[in-house]
């Protein structure tokens, strides 16, 4: 007989703003259901005005500023991007020493198919003046940031080259349906190789600028600060690091002796995952895993390793991914004050009993 409706839910980290992570050990699909897609907000949800709801403004250093409707965009050639979106703070809770901010576990990551239009196509309508440097994306969500009395819209910029990359899209669908309100309806920028702060939700306006954008989510947050006490050596968060997560077994599980499938996912920002290894002895030796899905740009691969656990005892299991750019997960994550880009080898402990 079937078990009654046994299913995971989003894991709430805060409600104001609403931050919830994907229950990643229980995700099997490479197109995460919208109900299990992680939510990361800086502010309350925006109040979309019907007048501006279904159109997008593009202005700034362009030849022809435009305001284009969703209806119009839907008639233009569509582009689909099947991609991981990973919050820059994914796994922040694992940094030692601990850092402040949302204590994300391993689930500030999801994957699915975004359909929309290449930003490049839209910028062909406006034309560029050849003096532009960056493109700024302004969301409909706004509020106060800590330490500031000023209101800010959530806004981020991309260098012009990244903005013109053919896979940088203005999406209007997720997994074949209109983007859910909480994930950016009606328009979400998708930058598949960057951490997800770049994929601005509820985009209302796009501005081409001739200098560097200096909004707080560009110049205060989403910066790697190597030092606790000062800002020396800071550099911006951009593309995703190579990374992997063990989905099964679960941390601190107790298992019987015998065969067990160790499984998980691995992903990277630029290039392809080429290898995933696991260690069953806390790094003394490594075994290559089977990649059970084909590595593709932007997507996670699913990997497995069949382990014959013959001997009772405690085991520390590590997973380590390598990508086609030659990047490999480090044993210890690069500590930074705001806790971005954690990508140390994943680690669980289990007991065979």
Number of chain residues interacting with a copy of itself (CB under 8 A): 42
Q: Report the largest interatomic distance among the alpha carbons of the chain, rounded to a whole angstrom.
A: 70
Considering beta carbons, is residue 43 or 195 the nearer one to a copy of itself?
A: 43
Shortest distance in whole angstroms from residue 172 CB to a copy of itself: 19
Tell which one of 6, 131, 232, 332 touches a copy of itself (CB under 8 A): 6
Stretch binding a copy of itself (CB under 8 A), from 189-197, 254-262, 265-273, 292-300: 254-262
Stretch binding a copy of itself (CB under 8 A), from 52-60, 92-100, 110-118, 319-327: 92-100
CA atoms 240, 242, 246, 247: torsion sign? positive
Tell which one of 14, 281, 287, 293 touches a copy of itself (CB under 8 A): 14
Question: x/- site string to a copy of itself, residues 183 to 212, per CB under 8 A?
Answer: ------------------------------
d(CA 41, CA 208): 25
* 168 binds a copy of itself per the rule CB under 8 A: no
> Which residues touch 303 (CB under 8 Å, ≥6 apart)?
244, 263, 264, 265, 266, 276, 289, 290, 291, 292, 319
Tell which one of 210, 231, 253, 288 touches a copy of itself (CB under 8 A): 253
SS3 content of the chain, % helix, strand, coil (to 5): 10, 40, 50
* 231 binds a copy of itself per the rule CB under 8 A: no
Stretch binding a copy of itself (CB under 8 A), from 13-21, 79-87, 236-244, 299-307: 13-21
Residue 98, CA atoms < 13 Å, CB-side half-sphere: 7
Sheet architecture: strand order including 134-144: 66-69, 55-60, 203-209, 134-144, 151-159
* 351 binds a copy of itself per the rule CB under 8 A: yes
Shortest distance in whole angstroms from residue 217 CB to a copy of itself: 15
Question: x/- site string to a copy of itself, residues 284 to 323, per CB under 8 A?
Answer: ----------------------------------------
116 within 8 A of 190, measured Cβ to Cβ: yes
* 256 binds a copy of itself per the rule CB under 8 A: yes
Shortest distance in whole angstroms from residue 178 CB to a copy of itself: 15
Contact set for a copy of itself, span 233-252 (CB under 8 A): 250-252
d(CA 80, CA 326): 27
77 within 8 A of 169, measured Cβ to Cβ: no
Question: x/- site string to a copy of itself, residues 94 to 113, per CB under 8 A?
Answer: ----xxxxxx----------
10 within 8 A of 36, measured Cβ to Cβ: yes
Shortest distance in whole angstroms from residue 60 CB to a copy of itself: 30
Tell which one of 31, 67, 211, 349 touches a copy of itself (CB under 8 A): 349
d(CA 185, CA 34): 13
Tell which one of 18, 80, 220, 325 touches a copy of itself (CB under 8 A): 18
> Which residues touch 125 (CB under 8 Å, ≥6 apart)?
58, 64, 66, 68
Burial of 53 from C-beta contacts in 10 A (0-12 / 13-18 / 19+): middle
Tell which one of 166, 231, 254, 290 touches a copy of itself (CB under 8 A): 254
d(CA 225, CA 230): 8
The angle formed by the CA atoms of residues 180, 181 and 185, to the nearest 5 degrees, is 85
* 259 binds a copy of itself per the rule CB under 8 A: no
Considering beta carbons, is residue 15 or 232 the nearer one to a copy of itself?
A: 15
* 44 binds a copy of itself per the rule CB under 8 A: yes
Question: By the criterion CB under 8 A, which residues form the site for a copy of itself?
Answer: 1, 3-4, 6-16, 18, 20, 23, 26, 44-45, 47, 98-103, 146-147, 181-182, 250-256, 349-351, 353
């Amino acid at each position: 007989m079937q078990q009654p409706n046994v299913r995971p839910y989003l894991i709430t980290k805060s409600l104001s703003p609403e931050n919830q992570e994907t229950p990643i050990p229980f995700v099997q699909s490479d197109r995460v259901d919208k109900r299990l897609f992680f939510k990361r907000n800086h502010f309350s949800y925006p109040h979309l005005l019907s007048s501006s709801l279904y159109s997008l403004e593009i202005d700034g250093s362009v030849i022809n500023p435009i305001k284009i409707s969703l209806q119009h965009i839907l008639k233009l050639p569509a582009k689909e991007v099947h991609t991981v979106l990973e919050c820059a703070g994914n796994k922040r809770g694992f940094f030692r020493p601990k850092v402040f901010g949302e204590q994300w576990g391993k689930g500030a990551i999801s994957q699915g198919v975004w359909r929309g239009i290449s930003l490049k196509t839209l910028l062909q309508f406006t034309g560029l003046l050849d003096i532009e440097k960056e493109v700024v994306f302004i969301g409909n969500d706004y509020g106060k940031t800590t330490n500031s009395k000023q209101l800010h819209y959530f806004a981020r910029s991309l260098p012009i080259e990244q903005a013109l990359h053919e896979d940088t899209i203005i999406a209007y669908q997720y997994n074949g349906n209109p983007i859910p309100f909480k994930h950016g309806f009606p328009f979400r920028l998708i930058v598949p190789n960057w951490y997800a702060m770049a994929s601005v939700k509820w985009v209302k306006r796009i501005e081409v600028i001739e200098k560097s954008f200096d909004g707080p989510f560009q110049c205060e947050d989403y910066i790697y600060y190597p030092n606790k006490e000062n800002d020396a050596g800071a550099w911006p968060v951009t593309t995703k690091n190579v990374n992997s997560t063990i989905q099964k077994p679960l941390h601190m599980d107790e298992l019987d002796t015998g065969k067990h499938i160790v499984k998980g996912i691995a992903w990277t920002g630029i290039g392809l995952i080429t290898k995933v290894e696991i260690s069953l002895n806390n790094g003394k030796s490594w075994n290559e895993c089977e990649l059970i899905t084909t590595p593709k740009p932007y997507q996670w691969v699913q990997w497995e390793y069949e382990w014959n656990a013959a001997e009772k005892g405690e085991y520390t299991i590590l997973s380590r991914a390598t990508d086609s750019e030659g990047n490999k997960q480090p044993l210890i994550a690069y500590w930074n004050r705001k806790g971005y880009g954690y990508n140390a080898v994943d680690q669980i402990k289990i007991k065979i009993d």
